[in-house]
Amino acid sequence: MDLKKLKSFKELSLLLGILIYAYIVNWYTGNIGIIPIDSFGFLDTGFSILKGHLPIRDFWIFTGLVVDYMEAFFLLLFGNNWNSHLAHSSFMNILATAGVFFFLKELNLKLVYVVFYSLSFATLCYPVSGTPFAYIHAYIFSLLAIFSLIIATKKRSTLLWFILPFLCSLAFLSMQTPTTYILIILLFPIFHFISKKNNYKNLKYFILGSISCFLIFFLFLYVSKTPITNFIYQYILFPITIGEGRITSSGFAYISLLDQLNLKRLFGEFKFIHFFLIPLIFISVKNFKKNKELDNSINLIIIFAALAFFFNQLITANQIYIFSLIPILAAVLQMNINKTDLNFKFSYLIIFIVLFATVKFHHRFNIERKFHDLENLDKTKAVNAKLIHKNFNNLMWISKFDDPNNELKVIKKAINVIEKDTRSKTLITHYQFMSTFLNKPLNILNRWYLWDNNTHPTENHKYFAVYKSLINKNIKENKVEVIYLLGNENEILFDNVKNYFNDICFKNKMIIKKRFSSHEIISCKK
């Protein structure tokens, strides 16, 4: 057999094995417990799309547009069930891992290192959540954009220059941050490379790709009959108020940047990232003196991207999702060290630290489910979620909010009531899987229901009138006759909900004390 072919077959086989592992590890961890508001966030929005009830146009979202449509695709492909939900996130873990594998190959690392770092990345990337999560989608598409730019500058690939804007668009339409920071960072090396090399052919393909993205997006808005103003308010202006609140520590902020700026968080929680990031910065400074332009361009793009991800992690209210930067930073550091006489001394140290960090965070975040605040719960008390519905196959239900048996009892009661009710209805809940599993449109108003101006505007917010107008339109056009509320005790209160509706009166009924209630829309005439 030809040695070249043998090498290619070996690499392909290893890549296939890595991708299978990437799928399985995410699938496994995604079935270990849930946090309702995050774990189910895209199930019903994806299902709503299949039923013609579209995000931005018909209900409020402030992020995750691409995630919604991808969820719809996987539900269409594999059916309205939990496995389709996990297939979505597991596919994203495969996509990201494949991107890392090919990127590391471009760094000219030995195959054994490429395999090792790819496996580490697959373990630490999507499995921290397990289920579709907008931040991680944006993170993955941003990484793929970064890798594409670096490879494009090395190989002079016009195709990658054309694809680059599409990856950036997918990232931004998944989550505005960290994508916005990454876009700003990428613009500098893009125009530096093009102007310095006088390679305006690449610029032409980059601009062509950018124009194509805008045209496709505006065509999408036109075909779906989605007003551009809806998009601007929901996806641009409202999220800006959340970001401003967290940076300025306003009363709107669920969590502020100042709350996060302490030594324990800055250096303690992220020490393994800093362990590789700081030496990489030091090497880059030295490379400037040695005029190693290509190596340094790779270093600088990776460094500034890592800092952007780090900053975004600080201001998000979510658990840490960027530990998968560790194998990427380690690999880039090793690329630099391989070109010095320090190779033998430091390679094993890098491998050891990455291995230690991978095992540590896999256990804490993936197995113990710290990302979903489940690490202190006894997982042996988890209950098979098939008790709720047959479409919940494989999920072991446990959450931080309630005893799993009691929580499932409440949900099952709610499902029975809603299923028997033939009226047009709306369900307000963090258990955003009811529409999907019942195969009934429940006319959702928005993806999440937090009353702190972090998921939708409340009465004291400047965009409250915009939100109120949208959901009243939803209620009217869908001829909703009853609104159901389902949550944990005092989590979703009707006193918060009723203020959103114009000239609507209700007949209220508590079905399960402080957990599940119905609110029939009636005439306001006495």
Checking if the pLDDT of 122 tops 80, the result is yes
Residue 254 reports pLDDT greater than 60: no
Question: In this structure, is the dihedral angle defined by the CA atoms of residues 519, 523, 524 and 526, taken in order, positive or negative?
Answer: negative
Where residue 108 falls (left for φ over 0; alpha for ψ -120 to 50; beta otherwise) is left
Cα 60 from Cα 127, distance rounded (Å):
28
Q: What is the pLDDT of residues 396-413, one digit of tens each?
A: 999 998 899 999 999 999
Angle between helices 158-172 and 200-223 (to 10 degrees): 40
The reported pLDDT for the residue numbered 1 is 41
Distances (CA, A) of 367 to 35, 37, 318, 400, 401: 14, 20, 18, 15, 19
If one compares 491 and 138, the residue with the highest pLDDT of the two is: 138
Q: HEC states along 369-383? A: CHHHCCCCCCHHHCE
pLDDT tens digits, one per residue of 357-371: 999 999 999 999 999
Task: Please give the DSSP secondary-structure letter assigned to residue 368.
Answer: S
- Rounded mean pLDDT, 436-447: 92
Q: What sign does the dihedral 48-50-51-54 (CA atoms) show?
A: positive
Residues belonging to the chain: 526
Which residue's entry shows tokens 């075909």?
223
pLDDT of residue 256: 60
Instruction: State residue 511's pLDDT score.
Output: 93
Cβ contacts of 386-389, under 8 Å, gap ≥ 24: 387/412, 388/412, 388/415, 389/415, 389/437
Between CA 248 and CA 102 the distance in angstroms is 40
Residue 8 pLDDT exceeds 60: yes
Mean pLDDT, residues 413-435 taken together:
94
What is the share, in percent, of the chain residues with pLDDT greater than 90? 65
Spatial contact of 447 and 45, defined as CB atoms under 8 Å apart: yes
Cis previous bond, 36, omega within 30: no
Residues 64-114: tens digit of each pLDDT: 999 999 999 999 999 999 999 999 999 999 999 999 999 999 988 999 999
Share of residues in the chain with pLDDT > 70 (%): 90
d(C-alpha 461, C-alpha 455), whole Å: 12
- Asked which of 121-130, 312-321, 474-483 is least confident by mean pLDDT, the reply is 312-321
Instruction: Compute the distance between CA of residue 54 and CA of residue 71 in angstroms, rounded to an integer.
Output: 13
Q: Is residue 283 within a helix (H) or strand (E), and if so which, with residue range?
A: helix 271-290
Q: Which residues pair with 59 in a beta bridge?
A: 55
Report how far residue 86's alpha carbon sits from residue 23's, in angstroms, rounded to the nearest whole number: 9
- Is the pLDDT assigned to residue 2 strictly greater than 60? no
Token code pair at residue 342: 């320090």
Nearest-angstrom CA–CA distance, 48 and 444: 8
Residue 295 pLDDT: 62
pLDDT band at 251 (very low <50, low <70, confident <90, very high): low
pLDDT of the residue at 322 = 95
End-to-end CA distance of the chain: 89
Better-scored residue on pLDDT, 319 or 66: 66
